[in-house]
């Protein structure tokens, strides 16, 4: 676990030195979410109805902005090869990199979402459900995205291919995440959607790092 913590600490320090990459995703999320109330108008009922989908789609796209850089810099400078040769299992090191990606991309989106949700007139309880759904969903986006980033590592036009691979896999997360908030607003309860998100997250935590590891080994051969 010390190796995993070292990987997380290293990636967080690199993110601090490359603030523009982190802020790009945050500004993208803020701008996309903020444009919809301006373009649609001030009708409160309509804004509340579309808010969950808009917030979730914006969070999904903002998460994707950093996926191409998840493994590419380490591949370019030889760090990835050293990780393969390290005594610690590569799967745990990959899990550390995924955790660092979520801490620098997903967690800030979770913290910003309630503030941006106020633009749509969401009530406090709906914002609470939104935060819980994002806390379950954004790590899932990072875990699934890591598999796509590993599969497209070193390929020409990998960014476009990464989007084509990852977006269909993101659909269940988007449906259950936005559906949780919509169900709560309509009075049906968000428990079912949140339970499904938690189940998907548990499966991804177990399988995604090892799938990404296998893809990385193939890319490095």
pLDDT over 80 at 15, yes or no: yes
pLDDT at position 28: 92
pLDDT at position 91: 84
Contact 55, 61 (CB under 8 A): no
pLDDT over 90 at 204, yes or no: yes
pLDDT over 80 at 193, yes or no: yes
CA distance 27 to 14: 19
This prediction's pTM: 0.89
pLDDT at position 110: 93
Reported as a single tens digit per residue, the pLDDT across 106-163 is 899 999 999 998 888 888 888 999 999 999 999 999 999 999 888 888 777 667 788 8
Query: Quick one: residue 122, left, alpha or beta (phi over 0 = left, psi -120 to 50 = alpha)?
Result: beta
Query: Across residues 186-210, what is the average pLDDT?
Result: 90
CA distance 75 to 187: 49
Instruction: Transcribe 117-141 into DSSP letters.
Output: HGGGT--HHHHHHHHHHHHHHHHHH
pLDDT over 80 at 86, yes or no: no
Reported as a single tens digit per residue, the pLDDT across 20-63 is 778 888 999 999 998 888 888 778 788 888 888 999 999 999 99
């Amino acid at each position: 676990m010390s190796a995993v913590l070292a990987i997380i600490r290293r990636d967080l320090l690199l993110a601090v030195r490359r603030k523009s990459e982190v802020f790009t995703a945050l500004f993208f999320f803020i701008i996309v979410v903020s444009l919809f109330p301006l373009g649609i108008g001030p009708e409160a009922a309509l804004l509340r109805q579309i808010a969950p989908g808009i917030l979730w789609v914006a969070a999904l796209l903002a998460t994707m902005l950093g996926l191409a850089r998840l493994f590419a810099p380490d591949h370019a400078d030889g760090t990835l090869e050293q990780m393969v040769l390290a005594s610690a299992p590569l799967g745990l090191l990959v899990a550390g990199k995924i955790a660092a990606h979520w801490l620098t991309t997903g967690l800030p989106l979770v913290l910003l979402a309630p503030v941006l949700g106020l633009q749509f007139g969401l009530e406090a309880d709906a914002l609470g459900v939104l935060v819980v759904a994002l806390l379950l969903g954004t790590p899932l986006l990072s875990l699934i995205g890591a598999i796509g980033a590993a599969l497209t590592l070193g390929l020409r036009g990998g960014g476009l291919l990464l989007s084509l691979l990852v977006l269909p896999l993101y659909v269940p997360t988007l449906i259950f995440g936005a559906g949780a908030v919509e169900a709560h607003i309509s009075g049906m309860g968000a428990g079912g959607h949140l339970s499904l998100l938690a189940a998907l997250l548990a499966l991804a935590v177990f399988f995604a790092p090892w799938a990404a590891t296998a893809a990385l080994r193939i890319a490095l051969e």
